[in-house]
A = this chain, B = another copy of it.
Amino acid sequence: MRQTIQPRSGTAFTIKKGELLKVIDPEGEQVADLYAFNEHDKEEFISSGRSLDYNESIQFKKSSKLYSNRSNVMFEIVEDTVEDHDFLLTPCSVDTFKHFYPDEAPVPGCHGNLVAAFSEFDIPEHHVCTTFNTFMNVEVDSAGKIAVLPPKSKAGDYTVFEAKMDMIVGLTACSAGESNNFRYKPIQFEILPANTL
Whether the Cβ atoms of A99 and B49 lie closer than 8 Å is no
Whether the Cβ atoms of B71 and A95 lie closer than 8 Å is yes
Nearest CB of B to A116, in Å: 17
Whether the Cβ atoms of A146 and B52 lie closer than 8 Å is yes
* B residues near A145, Cβ cutoff 8 Å: 56-57, 59
* B residues near A43, Cβ cutoff 8 Å: 124-126
* Complex copy number for this chain: 2
- Chain A at the B interface: mostly helix, strand, loop or mixed? mixed
Is A44 part of the binding interface, using a Cβ–Cβ cutoff of 8 Å?
yes
Nearest CB of B to A77, in Å: 14
Query: Interface size bucket, A side?
Result: 35 or more
Nearest CB of B to A42, in Å: 9
Whether the Cβ atoms of B140 and A69 lie closer than 8 Å is no
Partner of A56, one of B58, B59, B130, B146: B146
* B residues near A129, Cβ cutoff 8 Å: 47, 49, 69, 129
Nearest CB of B to A133, in Å: 10
Say which one of A13-21, A23-31, A86-94, A164-172 lies at the interface with B: A86-94
Nearest CB of B to A80, in Å: 14
A and B contact pairs by CB, cutoff 8 A, 13 listed: A47-B90, A47-B129, A48-B130, A49-B88, A49-B130, A53-B88, A53-B96, A56-B146, A58-B146, A71-B98, A88-B88, A129-B129, A140-B144
Q: Apart from A49-B88, A57-B145, A71-B99, what are 12 other A-B pairs with CB-CB below 8 Å? A: A44-B126, A48-B49, A49-B130, A52-B88, A53-B88, A57-B144, A57-B146, A69-B90, A71-B93, A71-B98, A88-B88, A130-B130
